[in-house]
Amino acid sequence: FDLQKAKEHNQRLDGEILALRNRVRSLDSEKKVLGEVELQKSKSELTCLYSEIQSLPGAAEDRDHFLIAYDLLKRENAELETKISKFSQELEQLNHFTIGGETATANLIASESAYKDLVLKVPILEVELQSPEEEKEELCPELGESKQKDIPEESVKEGTLPKEGQKEEDSQPNRDMKDEEPQLAMKPEEVVRLGEEARHVNQSLLRSPNSGDSSDDSSTQYLSSGEKLKCEQQEEIQQLRKNLHRLQILFNSAEKELRYEREKNMDLKQHNSLFQEENIKLKIEQKQAQQKLLDSTKMYASLTAEWKHCQQKIKELELEGLKQAQGIKSQNHLQEKLAQEKSKVASAEEKILDLQQKLEHAHKVCITDTCILRTKQLEEKIKEATENEAELRQQYQEEQQKRKLLDQTVNELKRKVTTLQEKDNQLKVTRSQQQEALLKQLENEKRKSDEHIKSNQELSEKLSGLQQEKEALWERCVQFLEHFDEHVRNYSEKHHHKAKLRKVKDHLVHEVEMRNKRIKQLEDEAGLLQQKIETVRKKEKYTYDTGG
């Protein structure tokens, strides 16, 4: 009954463990699906960024650096995915091992409880073995009384049969306790033989009222058989104690194996926890790498935006430079025109001086109308020349102002170009520093991943060794459980046989009591007959005396 309860409890535990295992598998599958979705999203984003990087014009060196970083991050992501898959497989194997260890420990605990129950039943069996001795001692004085009262010989012989039945009853469980092997179970031939002996005892009890008187030799034989029974029972008790000692040794060895299994189970649980921690660390590292990749993509996007903005500014500055160059060309052309006009003015002034000299000379020589007309014409020409000179001077001043403004704008543009170049150099330096830092981090992570791979290989080797040891222990445990089940089966058969023998014993004791009652009735009837015979004899003597 206890074994059935233990088996039912083990089946319930197995069902709960299977349910938990299915739940863990479902959660792992959900995590894998979510991780795959996130990885696909990140991969799609990376492919988009890669296409954008390739489509960008110019900045080939920066693009090459980013492409190298992208390839490195992609390789690391693939390595991390492979590591995560390996760790998930190892975790599933460890879960299988822990579930097998838990079932083995549960079976061992159930066998231990059943063994304790058997150990508790051993003193009860000893008490039951001692009870036939007490019954034998009680039956000895009854047999002495039957000897004095001249019990028939067949009844005495038949009275030994219950003791022989008791002997068989007591010796049979002792033999069963000695024989722990499954080959020494109760055979059907012995059951048939015991049934025939019980029938023979019943027939002898029925014939006991018609049997003759018992003899002294049969009583002495009964006493010697009782002493032999005592000796045999003592030997059987000693053998039972030896068997109990052997069972205790087996129980101690089973306890040691159970402790060893528990320690191994604890080691496996510790390895499982270590694998889980490493898996969590790898997931964290993967998330960090993904975050770094996202940060690098964001930085790349911001840098590409700044680069585009700088290109637009450079184009605007080039356009302004072209405009300034055109203005400088027009200014140079105007300066050339001014120089030509100045040369013309100088030549005109020289001509005017010559004409003035000629006029003075003409005034001196002759003052005529023609000279006056010429002087008027010359004065008009001089006025026109002065007016032209004033206009040219105004144009020259305006051109100088424009040139100053253009010089200021050119200087401002040069300053802007220098600041943009400095910013570009700073961005290049920061990019190179960030790329170097990323390369260092990637190298460190690669080293860590190599160390993790080595440790995983060592742990996998250890796990394979532990798995082999566990399989061997599992086989031993299965053999032990089979042996234990056979032992329990033999014990149950022996208990059933003992119950049958008890029934036979009760029946025989009842028949002995009935026989004793019948003997007492016969003794009473014999006493009454003797009294009647004595009275008849007395009457005959009296009649004989009176007649004589």
Beta-carbon contacts of residue 118 (< 8 Å; ≥ 6 apart):
247, 491
For residue 305, being part of any structural domain is answered with no
410 with 517, same domain: the answer is no
At 90 the pLDDT is 63
- 437 with 459, same domain? no
Pairwise pLDDT comparison (361 vs 142), residue with the higher score = 361
What is residue 478's predicted lDDT score, i.e. its pLDDT? 81
Last residue of a domain, one of 432, 450, 468: 450
pLDDT at position 431: 78
Structurally, the chain folds into a number of domains equal to: 2
Residue 379 lies in a domain: yes
The confidence score (pLDDT) of residue 164 equals: 42
Q: Among the listed ranges 16-25, 108-117, 187-196, which one has the minimum average pLDDT value?
A: 187-196
Give the residue from 116, 117, 135 showing the smallest Cα distance to 233: 135
What pLDDT, in 10s, does the model give residues 478-492?
A: 888 888 888 888 888
Would you say residue 29 lies in a domain? yes
- In a domain, residue 383? The reply is yes
Q: What pLDDT does 413 receive?
A: 79
* Residue 346 lies inside a defined structural domain of this protein: yes
Domain annotation covers residue 277: yes
User: Which pLDDT band holds residue 172 (cuts at 50, 70, 90)?
Assistant: very low
pLDDT greater than 60 at residue 420:
yes
Supply the pLDDT for residue 159.
43
Residues 469, 384 share a domain: no
Least confident of 44-48, 141-145, 286-290: 141-145
pLDDT tens, position by position, 220-236: 454 466 677 777 767 77
Do 291 and 366 reside in the same domain of the chain? no
Does 277 share its domain with 343?
no
Which pLDDT does position 217 carry in this prediction?
47
**What is the rounded CA–CA span in Å between residue 66 and residue 53?**
8
> Do 193 and 117 belong to one domain?
yes
| Dist CA 486 CA 499 (whole Å) | 20
Residue 487 maps to a domain? yes
CA angle 345, 348, 353 (to 5 degrees): 125
- Cα first-last separation, the chain: 87
Share of the chain above pLDDT 70, in %: 50
**Model confidence pLDDT, tens digit, residues 508-518:** 888 878 888 88
Comparing 101-115, 311-325, 345-359, which segment has the lowest mean pLDDT? 101-115
Considering the domain architecture, whether residues 114 and 32 belong to the same structural domain is answered as: yes
Looking at the fold, whether 338 and 284 belong to one and the same domain comes out as no
Q: How confident is the model at residue 143 (pLDDT cuts 50, 70, 90)?
A: very low
* Predicted confidence band of residue 207 (pLDDT cuts 50, 70, 90): very low
Per-residue pLDDT, averaged over 156-166, amounts to 41
Whether 498 shows a pLDDT value over 70: the answer reads yes
The pLDDT tens digits of the residues spanning 249-271 come to 776 776 777 777 778 777 777 77
Q: Which of 5-9, 365-369, 533-537 has the highest mean pLDDT?
A: 533-537
Q: How far apart are CA 80 and CA 283, in angstroms?
A: 8
Beta-carbon contacts of residue 306 (< 8 Å; ≥ 6 apart): 427
Q: Is 5's pLDDT higher than 50?
A: yes
Angle formed by the axes of helices 369-547 and 216-365, to 10°? 180
Query: Are 90 and 132 contained in the same domain?
Result: yes
Element containing residue 479 per DSSP (H, E): helix 369-547
Residue where a domain terminates, one of 450, 481, 505 = 450
Residue 289's pLDDT is: 67
* pLDDT tens column, 451-482: 888 887 888 788 888 888 888 888 887 888 88
The answer on 513 and 370 residing in a single domain is no
Does residue 16 belong to any structural domain of this protein?
yes
Residues 177 and 270 in one domain: yes
Same domain, 277 and 331: no
- Domain final residue pick, 415, 450, 485: 450
The domain containing residue 335 runs over which residues? 314-450
Q: Residue 314: name the closest of 417, 243, 395 by CA.
A: 417
* pLDDT given at position 218: 46
